[in-house]
Amino acid sequence: MKKTLSLVLAFCMICSIIAVVPAIQASAHATDPDGNALSKADFIIDVGHGGNDPGAMSTVLGGNRKESEDVLRLALATARLIIQSGSTVAMTRYTDETVSLTQRTDMANAGSYSYFVSIHRNACGTANLATGIETYYHNSQSSTSVSAKLATSVQNAAIGVGCWANRGVKTSNFHVTRESNMPAILIEYSFIDNASDNQKFDQYFDQNAKAIANGMLAMIGKSVTDAKTVSAPSVTVASTSAHNQSINVSWGAVTNATSYNYTATVYEGEMSATTGKTIVSSSTTGTSFTIPAQASGKYVKVSVTAVGPNNKAETVKSVMLGKDAVYPTDVQYIPVADVNGSQSVSNSTVWNSSVGTAFGMTWWRAFVCSPNADGTYTVNSIYENGVAKSVSVTGTNVLWAIHSGYTGYDVAATIVVGDKLTFCGVYIDNKTVRGTGYVLVNGGVALHPDDLTLSDATVAVEDDFLVGVGIGDTGSEIVSKFNESADYVKVYDAAGAEVTGGVVCTGYTVNLVVNSEVVKSITIIISGDVNGDGAIGSSDILVVSGAVDGSSKLNDVFSKAGDIDGSGTVTSTDYMALCNKI
């Protein structure tokens, strides 16, 4: 029933799109909504048209609307709802790419998928003449077949949105329903050349996606679950603790968390030890627990997991124990290589008054410290490297000295009077100093950043968006705008690939990556780059024009890129401002 409304306008639009954004070639396999290969799933969604085939096109209300774009938005939203509900779904395309009919069914038949759903929009060739939704299964199958039941389920759910005319469940000889080896349907989700249908498509977009998802999920006895995810809890626990002393662990309440699982495991070896004894393992609806005092062990590994309706998120911390040396993994420390050794051979040494001999030094930096009630030592005086001195230690004070040529000296060189030192694995009493270990300065400095902070005032972070990025900025230029090391700041494109020398686009993200995990992500917004291709051109103007007259709808990322004047809404003022940018 579909016809192109205007051959001339369609030809011009196709030429314009080809000129601005080269067609993407089809993937060789089905993927999840993020582009990862997925050969087995409960469902496979076939997203109609794409790439060099825009499908039905409409200029209703002065817009320039393509079926391929509408159905991609709808299919992606439907797929994510299915995933959030605990089921799996693959797609024949997840971006604007050209996929032939044969490729679509080959993808479906090559994998293991229970149901095939092809999503399209309809057109009749005369504006506003036809309206509503209709769903097809192949005419070789009976009205009691699984395909017919799938078609009825999806059609009824869509009509249940409450705004659509019901054109019914029908049979046809479409390629995708004929050649698919699993139950297959094709839904025509309203008419793209009907102004009222387009308005309903946009206004009730979330309900439309939920309806299709529910119609599909009903086939496996499920329904859409509202997305309520949890993030990893922020855990507070001491980095060091003495033997025979209990340890308190607490965390901030996590939004959507229904409970928290926690464990504490004590390890007898160094930090590389792989076996330990679990001493605490339980669950709570509160936000704290206590680890019983331990008479032995090198360190305790603490795990706290927030449990939500749809996911779990874990945080792991380590607590060093006792007087024996255990080297931390998540803080900066200074090794004490040979405690109480001869100054002629030792790299670092700790003295107290019972040693009874003044420490003479030239190529050492030394710190005389007094003890505190919490077990730390406050630096009271410092003897600089290169100055000949003889230092005696009195009372309960201690002297710590580090050789200028030793690893860790650079950190020691930053210590100032008033800093607090924690001697880990170094046992000091009024008679002797023993053990080998390390020194924490002011509790230890994190070896990796916990957040992204800006060093460049020309850009800013608004909510989770990075604004102020210019056209032509590369991934490495974006990284340089942050205070954190480039080892941790990564720019990813929409498919999750790292971008360094390449130009960034609206929708790309800046990520804080620690141990191969994304700790924080900020979405890049380039004012005027509304279609996310890294440039400003005629295609951006067409998108903004559609948003202004209501014939298309921008999501939060691209709406922000189109909001040139910062009013919070894409209007004709933004359209004019964008025109002036070209």
Does residue 268 carry a catalytic annotation? Answer: no
Structure tokens at 432: 């002797």
pLDDT score for 273: 42
Sort strands 437-441 and 433-434 into parallel, antiparallel or unpaired: unpaired
DSSP-assigned beta bridge partners for residue 116: 44, 184
pTM of the model: 0.41
CA-only gyration radius of the chain, Å: 32
CA distances to 66, 192, 562, 568, 575 from 547, rounded to whole Å, are 14, 16, 9, 13, 10
How far apart (Å, rounded) are the C-alpha atoms in residues 103 and 21? 22
Residue ranges, CATH 2.60.40.10, the chain: 235-321
Question: 517-548: buried (b, 16+ CB within 10 Å) or exposed (e) per residue?
Answer: eebeebbbbbbbbbbbbbbbbebbbbbbbbbb
pLDDT tens series, the chain, 582 aa: 444 433 433 434 333 433 333 344 445 689 999 899 999 999 999 999 999 999 998 766 556 889 999 999 999 999 999 988 889 999 999 999 999 999 999 999 999 999 999 999 999 888 888 999 999 999 999 999 999 999 999 999 999 999 999 999 999 999 999 999 999 999 999 999 999 999 999 999 989 999 999 999 999 999 886 657 788 899 999 877 766 788 999 999 988 889 999 999 987 543 334 567 899 999 999 999 999 987 655 678 899 999 987 778 899 887 877 544 456 666 777 877 655 544 444 677 787 777 777 888 888 888 999 888 777 889 999 988 787 888 888 888 888 888 887 767 888 888 999 998 887 766 554 445 545 567 888 877 777 788 899 999 999 999 899 999 999 999 999 999 999 888 889 999 989 999 999 999 999 999 998 767 898 999 999 999 999 999 999 889 998 998 888 888 888 899 999 998 888 888 999 889 888 887
Residue ranges, CATH 3.40.630.40, the chain: 7-220
Q: How many CB atoms lie within 10 A of CB 497?
A: 10
Report the CATH superfamily, name and number, of domain 235-321. Immunoglobulins (2.60.40.10)
Point out the catalytic residue in the list 67, 97, 188, 384. Answer: 188
Considering the segment(s) 7-220 as one domain, its CATH architecture is: 3-Layer(aba) Sandwich (3.40)
